[in-house]
Amino acid sequence: MTISSSTGYPRSSSAALDEPVLSIRELTVDLDGADKQPGLVEDVSFDVHANRTLALIGESGCGKTMTAMAVLGLLPPAIHVSGGSVRFDGQDLLDLRPRELRQVRGGGIGMIFQDPMSSLNPTMKVGEQIIEARRLHVDESKSAAAKRAVELLDQVGIPNAARRADAYPFEMSGGMQQRVMIAMSIACDPKVLIADEPTTALDVTIQAEILDLLANLQRDLGMAIMLVTHDLGVVADFADEVAVMYAGHLVELGPIREVFHNPQHPYTQGLLDAMPQGAVPRSQLSIVRGRVPLAGQFPRGCRFRTRCPHAREHCERDDMATVDVRVDHRSRCLLVQTGEMTLTPRHPGGVNGE
């Protein structure tokens, strides 16, 4: 697959990055109850920088959304954070009381949820929902918040914004609902935007419009974006860094150019090989055999070993950790780390032929 940038999204240099806006270190989330699973998400660490996008990728059930929800303190009752830190604006969000965390949620950190129809309040007009966010976090008058709500709807490309502000979510198309969701997420000028599958269930044309919108907003507002997705095509065009998750483990992390052209984990390579782009016409598409294990059934050691074509007996070791294999490129594969397996680079060059 050739990583293209036909959408023209700007990419920052990976050198000399500023201090991260959001820094996650050794985040561990446990599941209680009948399907008890210590380390549902285990020892996850990464940074998100201003004006840059980090993509969390992997199959459904790999822990991407769980990681995002842990950042914002939105985990279900049976799931809790048992270790690690989530630092934002000089404070660890895991140490905040619920009232303090609510000020960060929707204020300093915005969130775009997967399904706008279930996330928007069906009993409130969309303008009122944006006004509520502004009044809660910015403490401005209702008239000022109403004016800003119309400006935000216009900013995200909704025509006749003043009239649309007076509409209910069910009176709008899926694409328009997603734009409203984006307007709400940026209503209080957040430093970080978490976008959880922002293009799911949208047709290809609307997907492109939403991604263009997010790229423009990032350029204008300087936001850091954490993009949760399973769409590698979106990641190739839109992200600067990529974090690959499997069964709650972060198995590979690095710049998008490096990871996509020189994957250093068999799971990453399997995902890339399964993409239709670049496949030989009329040939059988490669697949990653098997499925992500259910919570409570994670294997010891490398959680991917039961599906990995390169697995060895010592992949069951419990002391496996994510280590540097190159500058800014980390892998959680013991065979790569010990040199027992070498993964072949996919294509020379980089994004846009660089």
Q: Residue 163 is part of which domain span?
A: 113-187
pTM value is 0.89
- Radius of gyration, CA atoms only, the chain: 21
Which tokens is 11 given? Answer: 């990419």
Confidence grade of residue 206 (pLDDT, cut at 50, 70, 90)? confident
- DSSP state letter for 191: S
Task: Flag whether 233 is in a domain.
Answer: no
List, in order, residues 6 or more apart from 252 with CB less than 8 Å away. Answer: 242, 243, 244, 259, 263, 264, 265, 267, 268, 329, 330, 331, 332, 333
Which tokens is 174 given? Answer: 């899926």
Task: Flag whether 263 is in a domain.
Answer: no
Task: Flag whether 77 is in a domain.
Answer: no
Give the model confidence (pLDDT) of 34-52 as tens digits: 889 999 999 999 999 999 9
Confidence grade of residue 262 (pLDDT, cut at 50, 70, 90)? very high
pLDDT at 350: 40
Task: Flag whether 246 is in a domain.
Answer: no
DSSP string, 231-266: -HHHHHHH-SEEEEEETTEEEEEEEHHHHHHS--SH
Task: Flag whether 144 is in a domain.
Answer: yes
Task: Flag whether 256 is in a domain.
Answer: no
Task: Flag whether 182 is in a domain.
Answer: yes
Q: Which residues pair with 30 in a beta bridge?
A: 80
Please tell me the distance from the alpha carbon of residue 43 to that of residue 64, in angstroms, as a whole number: 13
Which tokens is 212 given? Answer: 């263009």
Please tell me the distance from the alpha carbon of residue 133 to that of residue 107, in angstroms, as a whole number: 8
| Other CB atoms within 10 Å distance of the CB of residue 28 | 18
Task: Flag whether 127 is in a domain.
Answer: yes
Q: Which residues pair with 112 in a beta bridge?
A: 195
**What is the pLDDT averaged over residues 305-319?**
90
Sheet order of strands, 22-31 included: 37-48, 22-31, 79-88, 91-92
pLDDT at 346: 67
Give the model confidence (pLDDT) of 53-65 as tens digits: 999 999 999 999 9
Give the model confidence (pLDDT) of 238-257 as tens digits: 999 999 999 999 999 999 99
One-letter amino acid for residue 268 of the chain: T
Count of structural domains, the chain: 1
